[in-house]
Structure 1
């Protein structure tokens, strides 16, 4: 699941992106409002974490432009500015939630999960293939009544495959969904995580399997 972080305070951006990646999200980061708007317009993000005081284009205008475009991506605004008028303007500009700096990281991640759950209206809350259930909002995966212990990246790869059951998913598409755009490693890193997932699914006696589609990628099939 991919997030967009638009924050020009470099230290905070590094800290937040590191924490969110540890939670299993792929995170695209920019410190410029115009660049943030273009990245958000490109789509593919489950939510946007948006600072208000940005170079190029402030957060109010970024959010307002997204809504004028008809872009429904959930937006969580972060700002050092205080006061009910700033909060009201952010919400009136189309933001879905608001946090003033300094804020609790635990509260930030909980609010993001809530926004993402609301943003998935119309899609199943959990993904099922055979007796495997993948719950993206809760970050939980079970085989029958047994919960699988997965790393953040393993969960991301399995979620990507479970969203398209019995369909061939290219390696590059999995990489794009789970790793950041800035990732410079080998595409074959996906093989490492698929191998680990296969072992865990087999150990749990799951009634599904990850098949290799030669020359393309992988398929999760009952």
Structure 2
């Protein structure tokens, strides 16, 4: 069970640093995070966790339709390109629509981590359309901010301190599994993300059989 505790105050790191490179990616979402089908819209963001010595950083990619966390990563440094890339590679590896170049939009802020050449090339390679909001405006990536907030409330604030990045990573692994398989989401009619995903898969199978 994941519980909510008091929020710890103190120095906050910046998880969104605007890239100095020109960024011509459009905003394909425009604050509308409704997706009628799975694998049509992913939202991505990075949040931080205070540890006894420094900070850990967590990257999530969430499917807007099912609310399933399809990719995640934890790292001790925000500057490493591996943090969001591992989450992206995990999402692509577990999502047929992404591997097959299906219609899929990836929405993030304009942070430097998401504008890197390796990240944008990976999206392009799999036919995923990049979409971005503005820097520092939570409303432009509201669904991802909601996931971050629940992650903090349900897991991170359940402990007074986190001893290490490794401890955060292990606990995040367990929380993501709980979020996807056991947590009942009000936005999903009190179903779990995997239940919603399975229902869409079954409906698609029936459609293929009858056509």
Q: Name the TM-score, length of structure 1 as normaliser.
A: 0.30
Q: Which has the higher strand share?
A: 1
Q: Name the TM-score, length of structure 2 as normaliser.
A: 0.31
Which structure is richer in relative contact order (CA contacts within 8 A, separation 6 or more)?
A: 2
Q: Which has the larger radius of gyration?
A: 1
